[in-house]
Amino acid sequence: MRVIRINSIVTGGNTYYFGENGARYTNKFYGNWGHKYYFDASGVLVKNREIKVDGIAYIANAEGVLSEKKR
C-alpha cells in the first residue's frame, strides 16, 4: 500500500497547512525553506498584510513569507 501525504491545500485562493497528525495549523507559525509563515485563526496562510503575534509585528509578502517589521 502506498500512502501519499499532502500537507497543504489551496482552495478559493487561500492556503491551508496540515501537520503530520492531520490537524490544520491555526494561530501558528510554520517554518520551511528558510522562511517563516503564519496561519491565522481560520487556518489561512497570512499574505500581503501586517500582523502582530505575541507583541511582535510582522509583514507578510504575497507568498506569505514573514519578516519582522522594523520600528
pLDDT at 49: 96
Mean per-residue pLDDT of the chain = 90
pLDDT at 6: 63
* Mean pLDDT confidence for 18-47: 94
Burial group, residue 39, by CB count within 10 angstroms (0-12, 13-18, 19+): buried
pLDDT at 2: 58
Beta bridge mates, 10: 15
